[in-house]
Every structure is written in structure tokens, then in C-alpha cells.
Amino acid sequence: MTTPGTKRPRTTVVALAVVVVVAYSWWATSLPPFSTSGLVAVLIAGGVLIAVRRSTMRRRDHEADEGTGRVRWPWVAVIAGIGAWELQALFQHPREAHPTISSILDPIEQWHGARLVLFFAWLWLGWQLAS
């Protein structure tokens, strides 16, 4: 049970964290490709995310049975399909005729907004993996 006195600071912290993450993400995705600053920005984001998630994580005992009785083979099939399709495209040329995930993303990444969305998706995935 939370009291108004304890809920407000937590809400403030979360709101502040969201502002910081959005601002940092905007800055990190505005850095030029192949730059040291871009590399450092990604590494700092990754390191801080892992550290924050590890320090704020609750025990996962209650999640032990979350996936009981649920099959995973459809995911294995989908991931194998993605891997196989990526490899067959990667080893064929020219790239324009056989686009890989990277070459499909490249033109999309021309837009800063698209890079920002991809960065948020990347952060979300990292948060899940660090849990």
C-alpha cells in the first residue's frame, strides 16, 4: 500500500528518469556514424542501463512458473527463419538485390526520429535482457 507521501517522490523520480532517457537518446542518435563519441554514447547507455536494472530489480521467484506449459518451438522456428534468411541475403551479391536487415535499416536511419525509435526499442530489449 502506498501513501500519497511516498507515491509522489517515486512518480517524480520516474518522470525525471524518462526526461533524462529521452534527452540522452536524442543526443546519442544525433552523433555521426563511425565516431568515437557515438561508440562511447552507446557503451555508456548500455552500461548504465544494465547497472540500473540490476540495482532496481526485484526478485524473480514469482516468475519461475510464468512460462510453464507454454511451448517455445514457434519462436525457435521464427528465429531460425530470420537467421537463415539473413545469411542467404548476406552471402549473395549485389546487396541491392539481396538486402539484409542492416541494408534495409540504413535508409530508414536517415531520419533522426527513426533512429530515436530504434534506440528506444534497443533500450527496451536491453532492459528485458538485464532483468
Partner 1 sequence: MSSRTLTFVGWGVVAAALVLVQVLAARGARVATLRVLLRSVTRARAGQVLALAGWLWVGWHVFVRSSR
Q: Element (H or E) spanning 27, and its range?
A: helix 4-28
Q: Are 50 and 126 in contact (CB under 8 A)?
A: yes
Site string for partner 1, 70-109 (x = CB under 8 A): xxx-xx-xx--xx--x---x--x---xxxx-xx-xxxx-x
Interface residue with partner 1, options 8, 35, 48, 87 (CB under 8 A):
35
Is residue 64 packed enough to be buried (19+ CB in 10 Å), middle (13-18) or exposed (0-12)?
exposed
Tell me whether the omega of the peptide bond preceding residue 94 falls within 30 degrees of 0, making it cis.
Answer: yes
Give me the residues that bind partner 1 (CB under 8 A), please: 28-29, 33-35, 38-39, 41-43, 45-46, 50, 60, 63, 66-67, 69-72, 74-75, 77-78, 81-82, 85, 89, 92, 96-99, 101-102, 104-107, 109-110, 115, 118-119, 122, 125-126, 128-131
